[in-house]
Amino acid sequence: MISVEEARARIIGALAATPAETVPLPAAWGRVLARPVLARLTQPPADVSAMDGYAVRAEDAAAGTWLAVIGAAPAGHPFAGQIGPGQAVRIFTGGVVPPGADAILLQEDAKAEGARVLVQETVRPNRWIRRRGLDFAEGEEVLSTGRRLTARDIGLAAAGNAPWLAVHRAPRIGILATGDEIALPGDPIPAGGIVSSNAHALAALIRAGGGDPLVLPIVPDDSQAIAEAARAARACDLLVTTGGASVGDHDLVQSALGPQGFSLDFWKIAMRPGKPLIWGQLGPTPVLGLPGNPVSALVCSVLFLIPALDRLSGLPGNPPRTIHALAGADLPENDRRFDHLRARLEPGPEGMPIAVPFPVQDSSMMKTLARAEALILRAPGAPALATGAPVEVIPLGDLGF
């Protein structure tokens, strides 16, 4: 058995970012930049007004002075002339400050009357002018390689005049559920069988993480069928299997994939839930074999699949984010397996959440997992803790999970 940390390091170490593709700007949200975005223009492109009002020469614009309004400069319509002594130009937010002007008289500090305007508040030089290049300059790198693009980044790339972006291809993840006992929802259920929940939960998780899930038909516990399905996954960046990873006679994934050229890296992790987890390589395709228990499969996904997906997407593949919380119940001493207790989060003192573990932690209970808001982390050999002691938890809400 290897540790959770070592397992993650070996998984991440075996993966590389997908190659780049060019996508139109709106399709780039959530993708990871493969090439930096350089601004193709200077923003603002000229000195512009930050407010509605009048472009003036500050030296002329003392309170009580009348100025002649010689034109207007709305945004997008620069005033063609120049401002001389005693003159002003009506201007609007984003309008180009005409040559000669060095300040803006605010609309609320002015009184317009025909072709002239009364200064009611003395204007300070440079006031309410946004200087050329305040936001960014042409050629400046506004977004860097390796960044997962937010809605704001899309806005920034647009402002920099980039209609196309080079991003890493969304990783295609094949999902192969195995087992004689499982059926798709709505399909006939064999005697003693259950409905497959892993494949579609994993597909949703992969979609939430920016991947492209490919759900393969369920295969029975039969080497030939498993091998067939694995071949269908050759075009994937990663093949995820569920079921068949434990030590039972009917755990065929390992033996079925062997003749296909599968090379195993490791298959046991000192953790709970989810000890049996296969990691290896099938020809060019890395294979992550998740346990069949839905809860184990999803907890292992948080710990290993999401970082793997991040890595394939062009990110470093960091462990899931943890936050501080207080134990909402007494916790027993832990054995040598890293434990992940499903818990609710309740508001605690000074904004510190209280993580209350569910009393039954059986790894078959989907309902408990769906209600859980966090996983309480219990390292191997962690000492017993009393209620209220500090613990580290993985919040599940921010994983789209």
- Cα torsion through 322, 324, 326, 332, rounded to 10: 50
Q: Does 92 bind a second copy (CB under 8 A)?
A: yes
- Dihedral, CA of residue 320, residue 323, residue 329 and residue 332, to nearest 10: 50
Q: Does 273 bind a second copy (CB under 8 A)?
A: no
Kindly state the smallest distance separating residue 275's Cβ from a second copy, in Å: 11
156 near a second copy (CB under 8 A): yes
- Which of these segments, 74-82, 256-264, 333-341, 380-388, binds a second copy (CB under 8 A)? 74-82
Binding to a second copy by residue 90, rule CB under 8 A? yes
- Residue 162 to residue 54: CA distance in whole angstroms: 33
Cα(169)–Cα(185) distance, integer angstroms: 31
Shortest reach from residue 63's CB to a second copy, in Å = 22
* Partner residues linked to 342 by β-bridges: 375
The residue type found at 347 is: P
Q: Which residue in the set 155, 217, 284, 383 belongs to the binding site for a second copy (CB under 8 A)?
A: 155
Give, as ranges, the residues between 18 and 37 that touch a second copy (CB under 8 A).
25-26, 29-30
The answer to whether 154 contacts a second copy (rule: CB under 8 A) is: yes
Task: Identify the three-state secondary structure at position 49.
Answer: strand
Dihedrals phi, psi of 119, to nearest 5 degrees:
-80, 120
Q: Is 118 in the site for a second copy (CB under 8 A)?
A: no
Contacts with a second copy in 326-365 (CB under 8 A)? 350-352, 362, 364-365
Bridge-based pairing of strands 338-346 and 271-272 is parallel
* Three-class DSSP category at 8: helix
Least Å from the CB of residue 237 to a second copy: 19
Q: Binding of a second copy at residue 45 (CB under 8 A)?
A: yes
Least Å distance, CB 261 to a second copy, is 27
**x/- letters, 174..213, toward a second copy (CB under 8 A):** -----xxxx-xxx--xxxxxxxxxxxxxxxxx-xx-----
Q: Give the residue among 53, 25, 27 at the shortest CA–CA distance from 37.
A: 25
**What residues from 278 to 297 belong to the interface with a second copy (CB under 8 A)?**
292-294
Query: Is 11 in contact with 301 (CB distance < 8 Å)?
Result: no
Chain centroid to Cα 300, Å, comes to 19
If one asks whether residue 252 binds a second copy (CB under 8 A), the answer comes out as no
Q: Nearest distance from residue 155's CB to a second copy, in Å?
A: 3
Kindly state the smallest distance separating residue 361's Cβ from a second copy, in Å: 12
- Do 20 and 169 form a contact (C-beta atoms < 8 A)? yes
Q: Does residue 43 interact with a second copy by CB under 8 A?
A: yes
